Copies of this chain bind each other. A is one copy, B any other.
């Protein structure tokens, strides 16, 4: 990789607010982004269209969509018939691991990113996890990211050859409002991103799940207009 040729980086892209912001940041940081979206049977599959749109808009050199049907294992309101929880207020979010937790999801997503990074000879993986305005999932915390980074050094040909992978988490300590402010400065059009865990067939957001509550408050605190169509008034 010469200095004037941007390095490839794999970016996990769900089509949500966070990962779309990360994609815009990666290009701004001078990497060539390779966007990776995993269709794991999530009920909010409308995310996939948002991810395709984001990959086009924010300069992904390639966009891989990989199917891994986690509905076979169950255990989550995001992939099964259980209702998506609707916390009474944003303050209740993250106190316990909620029913929307998908077992081992981020381990699976990062494993796939690791595979692609190795074949691209990329040394950088970006993931939009956040441990502040988040649902309390264990696989969004710094301890998880550190453990995965160590695993990557012993799991791969590249790692064993002394070319370790860096797992970048540029959002991990930001508030949702800070993320929105950063993305807005980079020209991200959030109207096209999807956060809701339980979206309607018409693309509307429920307005009451963890992800909607955090998104709503984030736009308010950032002072940025929120064009999301919520089904539930405040």
Contact = CB atoms under 8 A, between A and B. Distances in A.
Interface residues of A, number: 42
A234 interface: no
A73 B119 contact: yes
Contacts of A143: 154
A114 B103 contact: yes
A82 interface: no
B68 A72 contact: no
B68 A64 contact: no
A31 interface: no
A74 B151 contact: no
Contacts of A138: 154-157, 159-160
A221 interface: no
A155 B64 contact: no
Given A69-B67, A107-B114, A112-B108, A139 B155 contact: yes
A147 interface: yes
Contacts of A116: 72-73, 103
A104 B75 contact: no
B151 A147 contact: yes
Interface in A145-172: 147-148, 150-152, 154-157, 159-160
27 contacts: A66-B68, A70-B115, A72-B116, A73-B115, A73-B119, A75-B118, A102-B115, A103-B116, A103-B118, A104-B114, A104-B115, A104-B118, A105-B115, A107-B114, A107-B115, A107-B151, A107-B152, A107-B155, A108-B111, A138-B157, A138-B159, A138-B160, A139-B156, A144-B154, A147-B150, A147-B155, A148-B155
